[in-house]
Amino acid sequence: MGKIKNILVIDDEAVFREAMCESLILCGFRCVATDNPADGIMRIKTESFDLILLDIMMDPFDGWDTLDLIKNTPSGRKIPIIMASAKTLQADEILRYGDKVAGFLKKPFEPSEFCEDIQSFFSWYDMLVSDAGKALSQGVQQDVCDKWISISRQIHALNRLKEIVSPRCIPFETSDEETCFLQKLSDIDRLINEKIQQREELQKECPQFIITP
């Protein structure tokens, strides 16, 4: 039996915080929950986590601000973060933060679907980390393996975030909402393609890497 995954939930709404932890524990995970970003960041500095579930709509620091703070913390830089929120994801949020997250969960959620989503993420992510570990054992440097994991996670997340992005878009003076949205989608596609190109270049340098679908 593998190591039990340790998940940190940061959410200022008690009902969602408790529901997520209860579901995670029933699914066989370990859950630590906090109602504020500051406490969450302190825990990251002293405990080891396999995943962070981060609410977006919080005060005074929202989830995006907290995301930046965690990613600028040495102990939090490599931890995958899935955003969880009742709000609809905007294209500008994907363009600004999409390469920092591991996914998005819409609230409210069905416990069984929530459990399946988390298990599905770990099934994919553990395979990615395992493949990078094999490359490491074959002589690839640790920082290169870390870069491979990061770029692969970014591509995986961005593709899925694009599928759920809100069609609402504040148009420029010379365009309408639909044109604005199509432009944003094009910008997201361009970002994804840039990441894919980076991964392809890395694989050319290190053919030990295997693309995890």
Close Cβ partners of 6 (under 8 Å, ≥ 6 residues apart): 29, 30, 32, 47, 48, 49, 50
Find the distance separating the first CA and the last CA of the chain, reported in whole Å. Answer: 24
**pLDDT at position 3:** 86
The enclosing H or E element of 189 equals helix 177-205
Predicted local distance difference test score (pLDDT) of residue 173: 67
What is the average per-residue pLDDT within 35-60?
94
Q: Give the pLDDT mean for 137-161.
A: 96
Tell me the three state secondary structure of residue 192.
helix
- What are the chain's domains? 6-205 (3.40.50.2300)
pTM > 0.85: yes
* Integer Cα distance of 172 and 148 in angstroms: 37
Tell me: pLDDT of 67 over 90. yes
Secondary-structure percent of the chain, ordered helix, strand, coil, rounded to 5: 55, 10, 35
Mean pLDDT, residues 102-107: 93
* Residue-averaged pLDDT of the chain: 93
Helix (H) or strand (E) holding 169: none
